[in-house]
Amino acid sequence: MSNDYQVSKKKTSKKNKVTSKLIYVLKVLVAVIMFTPIIWILSGSFKTLTEFTTSAKIIPKNLILDNYEYVFSTGNFFKYFRNTVLLMLGTAVGTLLSSSLVSYPLARMEFPGKKLFFSIIIGTMLVPEISLIIPKYIMFGKLGWLDSLLPMIIPAFFAFPYNVFLFRQFLRSIPKELDEAAIIDGCSHIGLFFRVIAPLSKPIYITIGILSSVYWWNELTQPVFYLNGDNWRTLTIALMTTFTYIRGGAFVVSWPTIMAASSLMIIPPMLLYLFGSKYLVEGIKTSGIKG
């Protein structure tokens, strides 16, 4: 009896070893697939145009820095950088403040209309931004906001549904007893929010702060529609316009400079990720997701 048990245990542990090796191989394979474009961008940024268009070798013949020099000296790299940082910070501050405030009563208070408002928030999550971009373009034109960052920053101060949803999920997971204790002590909801709930919600603030910053750093669609001139151009648009063609050359695509600009653009989101990776999983609460 006991012998049988031992044998079967050995068998499963052997099987487990094989499975975990297979999983490890799969893990490495996926990692290689996912990381290839980044290696490609980095390697391309050090190649000459001729080398880039004739050879697919990952390691460049000789590392040249001309492409980076070109990016810094053509157009107004630093102005585009400033614009993109302003866009990123403005939207992050706006959405963190407004979305957390809006999510508070949805997660922790009872009031008439709560279910209805929450359903509308979920409903608006399903409306793709791109379908409303034409009427908004006309609207922001009337307000005189086009060719500035306002069409993207101002709405952030009025709560994005997706972020409200993520905040609500997190706030619901904080024990309710805290509220009761604080209210008995004579604390108002506003005091409770700023002194108790917000400090306890640090992981979700960091999570959404990172996700939002990364999103706006990378955003292309809205700048393409709302920005025309050079003054408020963001890096994503500059990548499609300023850095695309060779110096003085009309329509020769300058791949290595695109790769150099791309390499530079990868750095901030990468740093944000490295800083916040441990919060990213902790902050998102999926318990009680009901569509």
Partner 1 sequence: MKARKKKPMNRRLKNNLTAYGFMTPWFIGFIAFTLFPIIFMFAVSLTNRKLTGISQYIGFTNYINIFKNPNFWNSFRVTIFYTIIVMIVTSIWALLMAMLLNHKNRLNGIFQFCYFLPSVIPSVALSYAFRSIFGRDAGLLNAFLSSITGKNVLINWLYDPAFVYQTVFFITLFTYSTGQMMLIYRSGLNEVSKQLYEACDIDGANSWQKFFHITLPQISPVLLFNTVTGSVSALNGSFALLYPLTGEEGNPNKMTQVLSLLIYNESFSNQRVGYGSALSVILFLIACVFGIIIFALSKKLVYYEN
187 binds partner 1, rule: CB under 8 A: no
- How far apart are the C-alpha atoms of 241 and 257, rounded to whole Å? 12
Amino acid in position 65: L
Number of residues that bind partner 1 (CB under 8 A): 102
Q: Which is nearer to partner 1, 57 or 202 (CB)?
A: 57
- How far apart are the C-alpha atoms of 257 and 252, rounded to whole Å? 12
Q: Which is nearer to partner 1, 44 or 209 (CB)?
A: 44
61 and 51 in contact (C-beta within 8 Å)?
yes
Only segment of 30-38, 61-69, 71-79, 196-204 that touches partner 1 (CB under 8 A): 30-38
Out of 11, 61, 270, 275, the residue judged to bind partner 1 by CB under 8 A? 270
Helices (H), ranges, the chain: 2-44, 49-54, 66-73, 77-108, 114-125, 133-143, 150-156, 161-172, 177-184, 189-192, 198-200, 202-218, 221-226, 235-240, 255-283
Out of 7, 65, 89, 190, the residue judged to bind partner 1 by CB under 8 A? 190
Rounded (10°) angle between helices 161-172 and 77-108: 50
252 binds partner 1, rule: CB under 8 A: no
Out of 68, 145, 215, 245, the residue judged to bind partner 1 by CB under 8 A? 215
6 binds partner 1, rule: CB under 8 A: no
Residue 55, token pair as written in the block: 């050879």
155 and 111 in contact (C-beta within 8 Å)?
no
Residues between 163 and 182 with contacts to partner 1, criterion CB under 8 A: 164
213 and 156 in contact (C-beta within 8 Å)?
no
Nearest 5°: phi and psi at 253?
-70, 125
Out of 14, 114, 195, 247, the residue judged to bind partner 1 by CB under 8 A? 114
Out of 7, 89, 130, 181, the residue judged to bind partner 1 by CB under 8 A? 130
Q: Which is nearer to partner 1, 63 or 253 (CB)?
A: 253
Out of 54, 61, 63, 252, the residue judged to bind partner 1 by CB under 8 A? 54
Out of 7, 139, 181, 252, the residue judged to bind partner 1 by CB under 8 A? 139
Amino acid in position 239: L
What CA dihedral angle connects 183, 186, 188 and 193, to 10 degrees?
-60
Task: Work out how close the CB of 65 gets to partner 1 at its nearest, in angstroms, rounded to a whole number.
Answer: 19
258 binds partner 1, rule: CB under 8 A: yes
Q: Which is nearer to partner 1, 38 or 65 (CB)?
A: 38
286 binds partner 1, rule: CB under 8 A: yes
Out of 64, 85, 125, 200, the residue judged to bind partner 1 by CB under 8 A? 125
Task: Work out how close the CB of 134 gets to partner 1 at its nearest, in angstroms, rounded to a whole number.
Answer: 5
Task: Work out how close the CB of 68 gets to partner 1 at its nearest, in angstroms, rounded to a whole number.
Answer: 15
Out of 153, 159, 206, 227, the residue judged to bind partner 1 by CB under 8 A? 159
Instruction: Write down how long the chain is.
Output: 291
> DSSP 3-state assignment of 253?
strand
146 binds partner 1, rule: CB under 8 A: no
Q: Residue 194 carries which DSSP code?
A: I
- How far apart are the C-alpha atoms of 286 and 291, rounded to whole Å? 11
Out of 214, 226, 232, 242, the residue judged to bind partner 1 by CB under 8 A? 214
